[in-house]
Chains A and B, each alone.
Chain A
Amino acid sequence: MPAPDTNPDVSALAAAPALEDWHLDLHTEGARRDEAVVRLHGLLLRAARFEVFRRRNSLSQLSAVELDELAQDAADDAAVSVLRRLDDFRGESSFRTWAYKFALLEASVKVRRRAWRDREVTLEPEQWESLAHAGPGPDDDVESGALLEAVRDGIRSALTPRQRQVLVATVLEGVPIDVLAERLGSNRNALYKVLHDARRRLREHVAAAGFPEANQ
């Protein structure tokens, strides 16, 4: 029979309660899993309420009850996402932190979309033409004017229609990317890639027009 492990450090580690081990029950079946799902939903609801409360000024038309319904919906959707992606959790953070981000994402997207629900998203192709100077000062006016013209020309001639649409809407009109994605039948990641490519093309165009500092 092997001698019992009397190393106090090892024993302590083995006996240490794992504070977040409850989430392992999400992989099981029956009552243990049900209990863990309830606990998970509580965490997600806390995060969703936190986010909705933070962004409540953009939803001033909603009552407290409606705001809480929004948070509940976000927590419900986040629970579905978390349970579907349990195997993605690698323990690189605490489970709580990992789960929170799903609820914050769902809540923030719902808040943005609700805030813009009744607002028209005008995808005006001429919007950039009104791009005004807001630069450092009058001494820079000549150079800034030339830079602005290079930017306008780049938006006009160097971008694809889709790149122009996404860049103008998100940057100049302030349309949240999730709202634009919903209106265009796309998703945040795909639109951000369009935006990223648009910016790269614009930098290259502006740099070629004599402003190499733009391409950094």
Chain B
Amino acid sequence: MTGRDLDPTLLRLLGSDEPELDCDECFAQLDRYVELELRGAPADALVPGLRAHLVGCPACAEEHESLRALLELDSVS
């Protein structure tokens, strides 16, 4: 069994040892990160630790999804 084979509940319990931002740092970088993503720029390389935080923090992940979706809506309206 590898780490990737763990069931989702165990993955959420154990998390990852990948370096990650905390919630405040994530919020501070979220606008820049999402704009980089939407431009097709290497957001994960330019804002290290943010993606790992989104995996571990459902609340910040929801706000990331919402900001991205809102900007995408703006771009077509």
Q: Interface of A with B (CB < 8 Å)?
A: 47, 50-51, 54, 88, 92-94, 96-98, 100-101, 104-105, 108-109, 112, 131, 133-136, 140, 143-144, 147-148, 151, 155, 167, 171-172, 176-178, 188-189, 192-193, 195-196, 199-200, 202-203, 206, 211, 213-216
Contacts and interface: CB of A to CB of B under 8 A. Distances in A.
Contact of A213 (B1, B22, B24, B56): B1
Given A151-B13, A202-B13, A189 B31 contact: no
B59 A104 contact: no
A115 to B, nearest CB: 12
A74 to B, nearest CB: 12
Interface string B1-41: 11101111110111111001011100110111011000000
B31 A112 contact: no
Contacts of A199: 13-15, 56
B1 A92 contact: no
Contact of B15 (A50, A143, A144, A200): A200
B63 A101 contact: yes
A171 B32 contact: no
Contacts of A101: 27, 30-31, 63, 67
A47 B70 contact: yes
Contacts of A109: 59
A50 B70 contact: yes
A134 B6 CA distance: 9
B13 A216 contact: no
Contacts of A94: 31, 35
